[in-house]
């Protein structure tokens, strides 16, 4: 499918794209992928998957690499995971009030950051029902060889 720029009405071309995501006070510049961009005005058209990919990588990077991450990074990651505070609490073995407190803190600790980054990894590997996984503690989980 060919895409056209809404402003300039000319065909978009796939090329290098610098994507900027702001999480709290941290700006993440991602040049890891390409995008359909307008040769005239430079506007990019991102698919839903591409947009989510940028958000996901930015959140992961902030959680694992940033010197300091605020509670906003936790909140941002939670929204990407599509989890309510209560659901994330179950996965992290804590309670809703604690999640809320962390999300308002100036600094969140390294262990918490890595635990949430791990959840982002899981969600990317296709474990889409993280919430379900968390709310049913008695459920049996199986590890099976990957197909293909």
Residues 2-21 that bind Zn ion (CB under 5 A): 5, 7-8
Nearer to Zn ion, 40 or 47 (CB): 40
Contact residue for Zn ion among 14, 18, 22, 41 (CB under 5 A): 41
One of 20, 22, 27, 40 touching Zn ion (CB under 5 A): 40
d(CA 103, CA 111): 15
Nearer to Zn ion among residue 7 and residue 106 (C-beta):
7
Give whichever of 43 and 100 is closer to Zn ion, judged by the CB atom.
43
Exactly one of 12, 26, 38, 58 binds Zn ion (CB under 5 A); that residue is 38
* HEC secondary structure over the chain: CCCECCCCCCECEEEECCEEEEECCEEEEECCCEEEECCCCCCEECCHHHHHHHHHHHHHHHHHHCCCCCHHHHHHHHHHHCCCHHHHHHHCCCCHHHHHHHHCCCCCCHHHHHHHHHHHHHHHCCCCCHHHHHHCCCCCCCCCCCCC
Nearer to Zn ion, 7 or 52 (CB): 7
Per-residue 3-state assignment (H helix, E strand, C coil) for 128-147: CCHHHHHHCCCCCCCCCCCC
Q: How many residues bind Zn ion (CB under 5 A)?
A: 6
28 binds Zn ion (CB under 5 A): no
Least distance to Zn ion, CB of residue 126, Å:
36
CB of 40 to Zn ion, least distance (A): 5
Binding interface with Zn ion (CB under 5 A) = 5, 7-8, 38, 40-41
């Amino acid at each position: 499918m060919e895409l056209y720029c809404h402003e300039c009405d000319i065909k978009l071309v796939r090329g290098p794209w610098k994507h900027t995501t702001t999480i709290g006070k941290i700006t993440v510049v991602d040049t890891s992928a390409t995008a359909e961009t307008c040769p005239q005005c430079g506007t990019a058209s991102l698919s839903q998957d591409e947009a989510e990919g940028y958000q996901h990588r930015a959140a992961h990077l902030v959680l694992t690499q940033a010197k300091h991450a605020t509670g906003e990074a936790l909140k941002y990651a939670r929204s990407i995971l599509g989890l309510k505070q209560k659901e994330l609490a179950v996965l992290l073995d804590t309670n809703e009030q604690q999640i809320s407190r962390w999300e308002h803190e100036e600094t969140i600790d390294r262990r918490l950051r890595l635990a949430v980054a791990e959840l982002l990894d899981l969600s990317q590997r296709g474990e889409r029902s993280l919430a379900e996984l968390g709310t049913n503690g008695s459920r049996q989980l199986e590890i099976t060889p990957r197909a293909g």
